[in-house]
């Protein structure tokens, strides 16, 4: 019998999610840290991220009624900061992520 190295167990989603799967099969509660470790073990999928940013950017550009207003200075008395939503989405394309969890 050859067991996987401890290093591969640190990054393999199947290994990280066994406890979650077993608990779910038995209708048992899943501890937060166990569930989080499972979710964080899935590697970053650049294609998924690209498609997500494309979809959100398209929606914001064509259907979000307040896109221009979000980039204007707020009215007097308001404390929120203006934001260029499309530019912020573009910055996400360049940011490195370790996992899908980090991206979402």
The Cα–Cα gap between 68 and 70 comes to: 5
Q: Report CA dihedral (79, 84, 89, 91) to the nearest 10 degrees.
A: -100
The helix (run of H) or strand (run of E) holding residue 81 is none
Query: C-alpha distances in angstroms, 60 versus 57, 83, 92, 94, 102?
Result: 5, 13, 15, 19, 22
Q: What is the mean pLDDT of residues 1-18?
A: 62
* pLDDT per residue as tens digits for the range 76-85: 999 999 999 9
Least trusted range by pLDDT, from 4-8, 44-48, 50-54, 69-73 = 4-8
Comparing 48 with 3, the larger pLDDT belongs to 48
How confident is residue 8, by pLDDT bands cut at 50, 70 and 90? very low
Its pTM stands at 0.71
* pLDDT per residue as tens digits for the range 35-48: 999 999 999 999 99
Count of Cβ atoms closer than 10 Å to residue 41 Cβ: 19
């Amino acid at each position: 019998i050859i067991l996987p190295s401890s290093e591969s167990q640190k990054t393999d989603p199947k290994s990280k999610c066994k406890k979650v799967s077993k608990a779910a099969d038995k209708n048992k509660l899943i501890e937060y840290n166990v569930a989080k470790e499972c979710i964080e073990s899935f590697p970053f999928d650049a294609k998924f991220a690209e498609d997500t940013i494309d979809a959100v950017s398209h929606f914001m550009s064509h259907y979000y009624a307040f896109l221009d207003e979000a980039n204007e200075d707020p009215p007097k008395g308001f404390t929120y900061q203006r934001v260029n939503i499309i530019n912020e989405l573009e910055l996400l394309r360049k940011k490195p992520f370790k996992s899908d969890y980090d991206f979402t």
